[in-house]
Amino acid sequence: MGYVAIADRDHEIEHHDPQTFITKYVWSQDHKVIAIQYGVTAIFVGLIALGLSAMMRLQLGFPDSFSFINPENYYQFITMHGMIMVIYLLTALFLGGFGNYLIPLMCGSRDMVFPFLNMLSYWVYLLSVIILIASFFVPGGSTGAGWTLYPPQAILPGTPGVDWGILLMLASLAVFIVAFTMGGLNYVTTVLQARCRGMTLMRMPLSVWGIFIATILGLLAFPALLVSAIMMLLDKTIATSFFMPAISSMGVDPGYTGGSPILFQHLFWFFGHPEVYIVALPAFGIVSDLLSTHARKNIFGYRMMVWAIIAIGGLSFIVWAHHMYVSGMNPYFGFFFATTTLIIAVPTAIKVYNWVLTLWEGNIHLRVPMLFAIAFIFTFIHGGLTGLFLGNVTIDLPLSDTYFVVAHFHMVMGVSPVLVVFGAIYHWWPKITGRMYHEGLGKWHFWMTFLGTYSIYLPMHYLGFAGVPRRYFAMGNTEFLPESAQDLNAWITMSALFVAATQVLFFINVIWSLKKGPKADPNPWDATTLEWQTPDNPPKHGNWGHELPECHRWAYDYSVPGYKDDFIPQNVPASDAAPAGRDHGVEH
């Protein structure tokens, strides 16, 4: 019974009830406010990354037409765009934002188990963002080493930002990892220790499962990035030779003795590949809940969905070297990593089938969140299939470092998670703000974003097959590329600018909703999960008023035969929900 005492902390709630504006909105220990702080900060840096990608596209689509883009800052744009999107936007938004908001509400707890640590986690994250942004303004600008920061070039003269940019980048990553670890320990402990009565692990919504397993991956994988960041900092500042080979740089001997750049690649991708799933697993979980809710059907194969998340999480640690097929590795290693990579397709395919089967014969409501969720299935299958190409050594070798790779990872871990982010924001907006968004505007936003992104990334596959290399500032006089490649690049650029511009619709919607949006029903989607059953909308500090909810069923009792309503919330006891008095549930 000990855990009830932890979860039911009435006395503490009264103790740190927010008193002033500062404690309520700035130094807040309320998981919902911290979630919003995380979300707003992440979206803010995400907009910077969006702006950087627009600059890159301007150069690629219309080479040498813009005097403010030169090779140096082009590389800085690429690097910062990638780094921000993967780490400071997606990781922070899914785990710091949605993790913070959803875990306590969906598990029926009052808050995270360590609210102070949670607050600290956000402020340290903000510090890492400030260090990151500061690197734009130091002499020499931010680093231009590519988001993978491969040595030796990352810290040798000739790479932009070699004096200060790379130092701030590595420092910012280290600070981010500290922030993430503080948050991550909180999320794991909250899921394990602070669930309300009756919320067994197998009754948790898949959103919580996805965030939970992704957090575990992050906790175990981010140390690899921390190790490589520390070692590279030492190589840069005091000239140790962890990664730096005996090398002559521009005729000068920088004094390195014979380190291994490949060692860095191993460490980096030991983090880098799980990172893909740190972003993808929360998206998998959230999209499962959106599909089930808006199709009015229980998720197909709940247990398989949980085990697939766990299997993907485990497998994600033994595929990292498929990012290094061209590093000259032993062919047997390549064979091993190709095999493990293809094995991941099995649990992933289970998930895709189950999403589609959840839609099968569902009572589908094509509201904005549902549109984004279904679009995710498209883009994810698309990106997943090109992953099968790249996972095979023989096909990867010619395609490596071409636009095919760019298209692949943007579809699978750029567009797909971002679609889920939008779907999730629209879905939980009425709970977060207590107001509805504009449905029509939301649909316009969806269609323009969805079709626009296809218009960007579909042609890139063709460019990749044609052999257009990624990361190049300009193609020069490349004999093997047809003229049409440039036309395609111009088209992609126009699509990219169009998609970037249409995001304005989202922000108009946000402002409109906050100012004039109609008051939202506490449970506008007739959803079953606990966050929609709070006594206040939006929930107050402490979430549940005087009494904690009790969980009596799983999260997917939609359209249960024999019941008046097509949903039964998780906190409705079995006896209260049976108007027809029949033994329900057996038909499933």
Q: Which of residues 88-127 bind other proteins (CB under 8 A)?
A: 113-114
Residues 156-185 that bind other proteins (CB under 8 A): 181, 184-185
In the set 258, 328, 331, 581, which binds other proteins (CB under 8 A)?
258
Of residues 440 and 573, the one with the C-beta less far from other proteins = 573
Angle, helices 165-193/71-83, rounded to nearest 10 degrees = 10
Of residues 66 and 116, the one with the C-beta less far from other proteins = 116
Residues 505-564 that bind other proteins (CB under 8 A): 550-554, 556-557
CA distances, 531 to each of 201, 354, 573, 582 (Å):
17, 24, 17, 28
Binding mask 470-509 for other proteins (x = CB under 8 A): ----------------------------------------
Q: Measured between alpha carbons, how far is 63 from 65 in angstroms, rounded to an integer? A: 6
Of residues 298 and 386, the one with the C-beta less far from other proteins = 298
Q: Measured between alpha carbons, how far is 380 from 423 in angstroms, rounded to an integer? A: 14
If phi over 0 gives left and psi between -120 and 50 gives alpha, with beta otherwise, what is residue 158? left
Residues 6+ apart with CB under 8 A from 306: 202, 206, 209
In the set 25, 257, 388, 440, which binds other proteins (CB under 8 A)?
257
Torsion of CA 10, 16, 18, 24, to 10 degrees: -110
* Minimum separation from the CB atom of position 248 to other proteins (A): 16
> Which of 406, 511, 415 lies closest to 464 in space, CA to CA?
406
Of residues 201 and 508, the one with the C-beta less far from other proteins = 201
> Which of 491, 505, 524 lies closest to 446 in space, CA to CA?
505
Selected range binding other proteins among 15-23, 62-70, 222-230, 355-363, rule: CB under 8 A: 222-230
In the set 130, 246, 349, 511, which binds other proteins (CB under 8 A)?
246
Of residues 194 and 371, the one with the C-beta less far from other proteins = 194
If phi over 0 gives left and psi between -120 and 50 gives alpha, with beta otherwise, what is residue 262? alpha
Residues 11-40 that bind other proteins (CB under 8 A): none
| Per-position DSSP letters for 103-142, written without gaps between them | HHHHHT-SS-S-HHHHHHHHHHHHHHHHHHHHTTTSTT-S
Selected range binding other proteins among 26-34, 50-58, 161-169, 309-317, rule: CB under 8 A: 309-317
Q: Give 150-216 as a 3 state SS string.
A: CCCHHHCCCCCCCCCHHHHHHHHHHHHHHHHHHHHHHHHHHHHHCCCCCCCHHHCCHHHHHHHHHHH
Binding mask 266-305 for other proteins (x = CB under 8 A): xx--x---------------------------x---xx--
* Minimum separation from the CB atom of position 270 to other proteins (A): 7
Selected range binding other proteins among 81-89, 190-198, 401-409, 476-484, rule: CB under 8 A: 190-198
Binding mask 562-581 for other proteins (x = CB under 8 A): ------x----xx--x----
> By CB under 8 A, how many residues form the interface with other proteins?
74
In the set 2, 139, 158, 476, which binds other proteins (CB under 8 A)?
2
Residues 6+ apart with CB under 8 A from 320: 266, 269, 270, 272, 273, 274, 337
List the Cα angle 541/186/570 in 5-degree steps.
60
Of residues 302 and 372, the one with the C-beta less far from other proteins = 302
In the set 129, 216, 229, 425, which binds other proteins (CB under 8 A)?
216
Residues 47-86 that bind other proteins (CB under 8 A): none
Residues 6+ apart with CB under 8 A from 213: 281, 309, 310, 313
In the set 70, 148, 153, 189, which binds other proteins (CB under 8 A)?
189
| Per-position DSSP letters for 552-565, written without gaps between them | -S-TT-BS-TT-SS
Binding mask 312-351 for other proteins (x = CB under 8 A): -xx--xx---------------------------------
Of residues 471 and 588, the one with the C-beta less far from other proteins = 588
